[in-house]
């Protein structure tokens, strides 16, 4: 029998999910924020650029009236999500998730209460025209009480060539390499590598050909696409300046080298 290329300990999707994603915290934040805005829980959730659909899986765990739709272009990644993530759900939870292979620019039905695009995946849209088309389509895809929720990474570090290393509790190292950043176009070549205690490396486990967007640009695009009550949830920091994972609605923030925040709009 041919040897599998990746063991569970080196499968890029498992490493990515562990090192990059925080589905429980993200879904808690999104769910609470929707309730705050609309005074009732959201029922339907669309996860754009869903990849392995980890957030959708978390969403359907919230209750029997919750449904999720995951959208991604890449069939093998969706298949991986079905095999490894949806398979961990109960039959009832799994029956409330649909994964579709589609372009997020093109799919607008079924309409949903919440549309989320996390981990900056929309940075694949490198022109304002494409970004606006995406946000307009998101607007069309939402119910009247609908919320668009996107995260954004910024700060001076996001506009430099740099490499960041982070030890992951699993015993390996997550490496974010921003190999190039062009200050004229804001195009960036970003890569994720993993390094293991035995000296082995998984180079270029994921590569991203991105345009970095700024908060004011996204807010303007949300407004042009028809969104209302556009606001920012800014992550609070502890006394050592580290992010706490707690996000608060705010109009002004002090500059930091690297920050992650969320941009929200109501349909
Ligand atoms: C960084 S991964 C996101 C993984 C995960 N959802 C997360 O939040 O970390 C980006 C995903 O976007 C998908 N993608 C890129 N362009 C797309 C498009 N136009 N429509 C749908 N999916 C797209 C890729 O196939 C890839 O799985």
pLDDT at 243: 82
| pLDDT score of 67 | 98
Find out whether the peptide bond into 179 is cis, omega within 30 degrees of 0.
no
Pure H helices in the chain: 12-20, 23-38, 54-60, 75-84, 91-95, 128-140, 215-224
> Are 100 and 87 found together in one domain?
yes
What's the structural domain count of the chain?
2
> Tell me, what's the pLDDT at 3?
54
> How confident is the model at residue 5, as a pLDDT?
61
The C-alpha angle with vertex 39 and arms to 134 and 218, in degrees rounded to 5, equals 25
Q: Which of 194, 210, 226 marks a domain boundary?
A: 210
Residues 160 and 223 in one domain: no
Whole-number Å distance, alpha carbon 36 to ligand 1 midpoint, is 28
Task: Write the CATH number for 90.
Answer: 3.40.50.150
Query: Does residue 44 sit within a domain?
Result: yes
In a domain, 19, yes or no: yes
Question: 45 and 144 share a domain?
Answer: yes
pLDDT at 4: 56
CA-proximal residue: ligand 1, atom 22 (nearest): 72
Residues in the chain with pLDDT values less than 70: 1-6, 8
Q: How far is the CA of 131 from the centre of ligand 1 (A)?
A: 15
Same domain assignment for residues 125 and 202: no
pLDDT tens for each residue of 28-78: 999 999 999 999 999 999 999 999 999 999 999 999 999 999 999 999 999
Identify whether 194 is part of a domain: yes
Given a contact cutoff of 8 angstroms between Cβ atoms, the answer to whether 259 and 214 are in contact is: no
Rounded to 10 degrees, what is the CA torsion of 64, 87, 56, 92? -10
- Residue 188 domain boundaries: 156-210
The minimum-distance atom of ligand 1 relative to the CA of 103 is: 20
Last residue in a domain, options 210, 228, 252: 210
Atom number in ligand 1 closest to CA 124: 16
Judge if 82 and 176 occupy the same domain: no
Quote the pLDDT of residue 132: 98
Does residue 206 sit in the same domain as residue 225? Answer: no
Which pLDDT score, from 0 to 100, does residue 6 have?
A: 67
Q: In this predicted structure, what is the pLDDT of residue 220? A: 98
Is residue 179 domain-shared with residue 262, that is, in the same domain?
no
**How many angstroms does the Cα of residue 198 sit away from the middle of ligand 1?**
31
Distance CA 48, CA 191 (A): 21
Tell me the CA–centroid distance for residue 238 and ligand 1, in Å. 31
**195 DSSP β-pair partners:** 173, 201
Q: Are residues 198 and 97 in the same domain?
A: no
Residues 93 and 196 in one domain: no
CA 45 distance to own-chain centroid: 13
Ligand 1 first shell, C-beta below 6 A? 20-21, 49-51, 71-74, 77, 103-105, 118-119, 121, 124
Residues 132, 47 within the same domain: yes
Q: Using alpha carbons only, give the angle 172, 61, 65 rounded to the nearest 5 degrees.
A: 155
Verify that 46 and 113 share a domain, yes or no. yes
Output the CA 75–ligand 1 centroid distance in Å.
11
In a shared domain, residues 29 and 71: yes
Cβ-contact 104, 74 below 8 angstroms: no
Q: Which atom of ligand 1 is nearest to the CA of 134?
A: 19
Measured distance CA(93)–CA(71) in Å, rounded: 18
């Amino acid at each position: 029998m041919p040897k599998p290329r990746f063991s569970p300990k080196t499968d890029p999707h498992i490493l990515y999910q562990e090192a990059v994603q925080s589905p429980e915290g993200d879904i808690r934040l999104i769910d609470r924020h929707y309730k705050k805005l609309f005074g009732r829980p959201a029922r339907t959730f669309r996860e754009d650029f869903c990849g392995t659909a980890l957030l959708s899986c978390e969403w359907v765990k919230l209750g029997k009236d919750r449904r999720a739709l995951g959208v991604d272009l890449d069939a093998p990644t969706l298949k991986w999500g079905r095999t490894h993530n949806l398979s961990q759900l109960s039959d009832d939870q799994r029956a409330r998730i649909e994964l579709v292979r589609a372009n997020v620019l093109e799919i607008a039905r079924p309409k949903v209460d919440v549309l989320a695009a996390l981990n900056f995946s929309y940075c694949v849209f490198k022109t304002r025209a494409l970004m606006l088309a995406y946000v307009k389509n998101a607007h069309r895809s939402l119910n009247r009480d609908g919320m668009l929720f996107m995260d954004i990474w910024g700060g001076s570090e996001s506009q430099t060539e740099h490499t960041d290393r982070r030890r992951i509790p699993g015993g390996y190292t997550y490496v974010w390499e921003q190999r190039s950043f062009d200050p004229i176009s804001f195009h960036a070549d970003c890569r994720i590598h993993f390094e293991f205690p035995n000296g082995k490396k998984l180079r270029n486990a994921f590569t991203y050909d991105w345009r970095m967007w700024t908060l004011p640009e996204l807010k303007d695009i949300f407004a042009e696409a028809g969104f209302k009550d556009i606001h920012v949830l800014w992550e609070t920091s502890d006394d050592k300046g580290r992010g706490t994972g707690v996000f608060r609605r705010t109009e002004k923030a002090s500059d930091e080298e690297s920050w992650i925040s969320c941009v929200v709009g109501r349909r």
